[in-house]
Structure 1
Amino acid sequence: MKSPSVVMLRRNLKHIARNPTSVFNAVLMPVIVMLMFVYMIGDAFNVGVNYVDYATPGLLLLAVCYGLGSVAVSVNSDMTKGVINRFKVMDVPRSAVLTGHVVASVLTNLIAVAAIIGVAFALGFNPSASFMQWLEVIGIVVLLGFATGWLTVALGLFAKTPETAGMAAIPLIMLPFFSSAIVPADKMGPGLREFAKYQPFTPIIETLRGLLAGAPAASDVLQALAWLVGIVVVGYLWAFASFTKRA
């Protein structure tokens, strides 16, 4: 007999596969953004290295964030359409319902990240990371997926309708553009420069960039891990509190 968590995960994966829009947003859109930045405007940025080498770490983060809107909508739809109440009658643990959404989101993220890395190599990406550093990159990406996944689930449960749930995830999708993902924070104007330096995604991107270059900075790694663990804790507690209140 399969555990409720596995059943919920299979259910969410089937929903994702049947929704071409969510698949497009999660996988194809980050690839299109990469092609746009590298081919169209990459030469306009003086970043000191081959632009595809600079941009790939930030685009990995973008690949994780692009599919978050559909996660928030899916969670909210389960709540507002009475699906959660049916699961309660069937004695399905609330942890299985929420974890199914998060794990399905992480698996979709990994597909999008693999697509970005494949396209990056086709465009001339030349990382210096060792095998262990590649494993650390994957670990950071997975932890990022769990962190943003739990926070998005919490936003989806907090929103009143599926429409507002999709809107609630937009800041998470847009935040990477106001980080060091596309250009170094030092090249930004006053105000935006400080925001980019101290927002959570910048140390995460710099950690990925350092690992892929073979020389991660300890300060970036510590900041990134602190942000990621903090976001996981906040998202997890907020999600379960909202679930308990509304279910």
Structure 2
Amino acid sequence: MTAAHTGFANALSDHLTLIGRCVRLTRRNTETLVMSIALPLLMMLLFVYVFGGAITTGTAYLDYVVPGIVLLCTGYGAASTAMAVTNDMTTGMIDRLRTLPVRGSAVLTGHVAASVVRNAASTTIVVSAAVALGFRPSATVVEWLLVAGLLLLYVLALSWLAAGLGVIAKSVESASALTFVMLFLPYLSSAFVPTHTMPAFLGSISEHQPITPVIETVRALLTGTPVGDNGLLAVLWCTGLLAASVAFATWLFRRRAAA
């Protein structure tokens, strides 16, 4: 076996080992897992049964709000990645890895993979709850696969960004604070109300931020309405954010780990 093959095999083994570790940590951290599911569910109930009757969207409000709740759910799930990374950075985990023939950067991959698993579970539960409340998507199998692919791209982008923020943070509490913008942006989008109902200034921000085209694409695919330019914009935003976040997180990790 060549050195290149050996190097690849070792790298793959390191990443798989740390992915397994992070997934196990996710299962044990029941508080974070429950909150990433319970909070979006409560938000959906709040908007549908408390505010929904006063909001006009041209369609059943439950059908309108579910895509926004799904993205809100993935945002909460991805944000917890920052706290998990900070915990590893500040409790000696990285120092222990330095004494072993393990690629330390695989820690980030492990936490991002755990975020994907966590978000897949929470999104499934949220969508199932929406169906129980009366949500009836008209998506075909292909459209469901497109929704899943876009959400995966979105979760990867947010999780890598959260991982980078986790490297910067000096404590778990500050990591939670750094992810505030990530959690706030869905509220300043078309997740809960049409953008044209907002004041002109806020409506312009909402229409030109990355989450709105993602929500509109998911909404169109699930409800059988035209996707338009939103599909391309959503992919471009998510791909660009993912590339920038991976570079940002890995550069910061190598710099801090070497310090």
TM-score range, shorter chain: over 0.9
Give the distance between the partners of 2:134 and 2:183, measured in 1 at CA: 26
Q: Is 1:124 matched with 2:165?
A: no
Is the Cα–Cα contact under 8 Å of residues 179 and 199 in structure 1 kept in the other structure? yes
Structure 1 residues 111-149: Cα deviation after superposition (integer angstroms, max 9, x where no partner): 111011101111111212111001100111111110100
Tell me, yes or no, if the aligned pair for 2:105 and 2:254 is still in contact at 8 Å: no
* 1:185 pairs with 2:195: yes
Give the residue type in structure 1 aligned to 2:113. V
Q: Structure 1 counterpart of 2:235, which letter?
A: L
Equivalent residue pairs, number: 247
**Cα distance, 1:217 vs structure 2:** 2.0
Partner amino acid, structure 2, of 1:232? L
Aligned-pair CA distance for 1:215: 3.2
Separation (CA, whole Å) in 2 of partners of 1:221 and 1:192:
22
1:105 maps to what in 2? Answer: 115
Read off the aligned partner of 1:62 and give its amino acid letter.
Answer: L
Q: How far apart in 1 are the matches of 2:87 and 2:105?
A: 17
Counterpart of 1:75 (choices 63, 85, 93) is 85
- What is the alpha-carbon root mean square deviation over aligned residues? 1.5
Distance 1:19 1:129 in 2: 34
* Bigger Rg, which one: 2
Report the CA distance between 1:105 and its aligned residue.
0.3
- In structure 1, the residue matched to 2:149 is 139
Residue identity in the other structure for 1:112: S
Q: What corresponds to 1:149 in structure 2?
A: 159
Identity %: 38
CA distance in 1, matches of 2:79, 2:220: 29
State which of 19, 22, 35 in structure 2 corresponds to 1:9.
19
Moved over 4 A (4+): none
| CA apart distance, 1:72 | 0.7
Following superposition, the deviation at residue 79 of structure 1 comes to 1.0
* Structure 2 gap ranges (5+): 1-9
Pair 1:63 & 2:60 matched: no
TM-score by length of 2: 0.91
Distance 1:21 1:137 in 2: 28
The 3-state SS of whatever aligns with 1:102 is helix
Structure 1: segments with no counterpart, 5+ residues = none
The worse-fitting range, judged by mean Cα deviation, of 179-188 and 84-93 is: 84-93
**1: distance between equivalents of 2:22 and 2:135?**
33
Q: Summarize the Cα distance change of 1:216–1:8 in structure 2 as closer, same or farther, 3 Å threshold.
A: farther
Tell me if structure 2 keeps the 8 A contact 1:209–1:216.
Answer: no
